[in-house]
Amino acid sequence: MTAPVFTAPEAAEDVTRMRGAFAVAAHAFHITPSGPEVWGWQGRTFGRRAGTSWLRVVSTPSEKAGGRLWEGTALADAAVPRTIPRPRLRNLMDWTHGSYAYRAELTEFITTPTVVTGSPVLDHDPNLPDTWWRDLHGASRALAAVPTDREAVRQSWIDRNFRAFLGIDPPWIHEHTTGHADLHWANLTAPTLIILDWEGWGRMPVGYDPGLLHAYSLPVPAVAARVRHEFADVLDTPAGRTGELVALGQLLQACSRGVHPHLAPLIARQAEHLIGAPIPSP
């Protein structure tokens, strides 16, 4: 079992601060939260259900407010076609208090459960129906056609990190697509597909999204094989292989910081399979 990464902040004062910010937003939106607390990646976000809505608050030091992750949900609501299943944004609010900036997003509450909770890594076979896979592939194709100048994956990251984590020269990415950029099992619902958490979407190497989902599926080989089958038209191309390596490199960087320790050797093995040579030891 992979340790949860969607947890409350370690510092008690940060837990209190986030709960206080959430109360400010709930009062401003005239809603009464009723659901359990749900924390995001390492406590950076905090959310709860409120009737038919979901209220999420994200915080960052005030000097870092704005930018790609800050604006992603609102821009996706405006630019991504409604044919791609996702929650609708209902209201938005920004404010600063002390040394922190906050953004509150009020979205449609999704009753369909996510495939996993507490971690992006798959830990069981969810026995997803063929229709679910067809919908995921269709959503990916539709998203690929969305024009945007948002960069979800930067060439500068590839240039800095490929040798350190993959042991090969960094490629120059020639083929890009538009994607979700955080395609994992805690952002996908089933048995009806809805794709959650759109803060990071944008331009990326072809193959990045399916490569990321495949990596998070590696603990369950049957599902990992299904991902490769469904996205063979992308992953089995030179550009798709490169995009998958970018996704694996970013995950290896996360693993080097202590995230997903049980997934790390599986990711390393997949990277070595694609490269045909050992990768650097962590």
Return all residues near 245 (Cβ < 8 A) that are at least 6 apart: 162, 166, 171, 211, 271, 274, 275
Q: Which amino acid is at 87?
A: P
Fold of 130-275: Aminoglycoside 3'-phosphotransferase; Chain: A, domain 2 (3.90.1200)
For the ranges 34-48, 84-98, 123-137, the lowest mean pLDDT is seen at 34-48
Ranges of each domain in the chain: 12-108, 130-275
Is the confidence at residue 2, as pLDDT, over 60? Answer: no
**Are residues 55 and 25 in contact, defined by beta-carbon separation less than 8 angstroms?**
yes
d(CA 73, CA 90): 11
Query: What's the pLDDT at 5?
Result: 63
Query: What's the pLDDT at 1?
Result: 42
Note the pLDDT tens digit of each residue in 115-170. 999 889 999 999 999 999 999 999 999 999 999 999 999 999 999 999 999 999 99
d(CA 41, CA 259): 11
Mean pLDDT of 183-200: 96
What average pLDDT is seen over the chain?
94
For the sheet containing 89-97, what is the strand order?
38-39, 45-50, 53-61, 100-108, 89-97
pLDDT band at 48 (very low <50, low <70, confident <90, very high): very high
Query: What's the pLDDT at 69?
Result: 74
Is the confidence at residue 50, as pLDDT, over 80? Answer: yes
The residue ranking higher by pLDDT, 12 or 10, is: 12
Among 200, 84, 203, smallest CA distance to 148 is for 203
Query: What's the pLDDT at 4?
Result: 56
Q: Which amino acid is at 150?
A: R
For the ranges 2-11, 143-152, 178-187, the lowest mean pLDDT is seen at 2-11
d(CA 115, CA 191): 8
pLDDT band at 187 (very low <50, low <70, confident <90, very high): very high
Query: What's the pLDDT at 182?
Result: 96
* Domain at 12-108, CATH from 3.30.1330, 1.10.10, 3.30.200, 2.30.30: 3.30.200
